[in-house]
Amino acid sequence: MQNFPRQIQDISAWLSQIGADPTGGMTRLLYTPEWCAAQRALQEKFESAGLKTHFDHVGNLSARLEGSHYPEQTIMSGSHIDTVVNGGNLDGQFGIEAAFLAINYLKETYGQPLRTLEVLSMAEEEGSRFPFVFWGSKNIFGLANNADMHQVQDAKGVGFVDAMHQAGFDFRPENTPVRQDLRAFVELHIEQGKVLETEGKTVGVVTSIVGQRRYDIRLTGESNHAGTTPMGYRRDTVHAFSRICYESIEKARKEGDPLVLTFGKVEPKPNTVNVVPGFTHFTMDCRHTDQQALLRFTQEIEADMKRICGEMGIEVEINLWMDEAPIPMDPQLVKQVAAVCETQKMNYRLMHSGAGHDSQIFAPRVPTVMLFVPSIAGISHNPAEKTELSDLAEGVRALAHVLYQLAYQENGGAV
| Binding site residue list for allantoate | 214, 274, 287
Report the binding-site residues for Zn(2+). 80, 91, 126, 189, 381
120 vs 116: CA distance, rounded Å: 13
Q: What is the dihedral of CA 140, 145, 150, 155, to 10 degrees?
A: -70
227 vs 384: CA distance, rounded Å: 45
Report the binding-site residues. 80, 91, 126, 189, 214, 274, 287, 381
390 vs 188: CA distance, rounded Å: 15
407, 371, 334: which is closest to 109 by C-alpha?
407
171 vs 164: CA distance, rounded Å: 8
Q: What is the dihedral of CA 324, 330, 335, 339, to 10 degrees?
A: -100
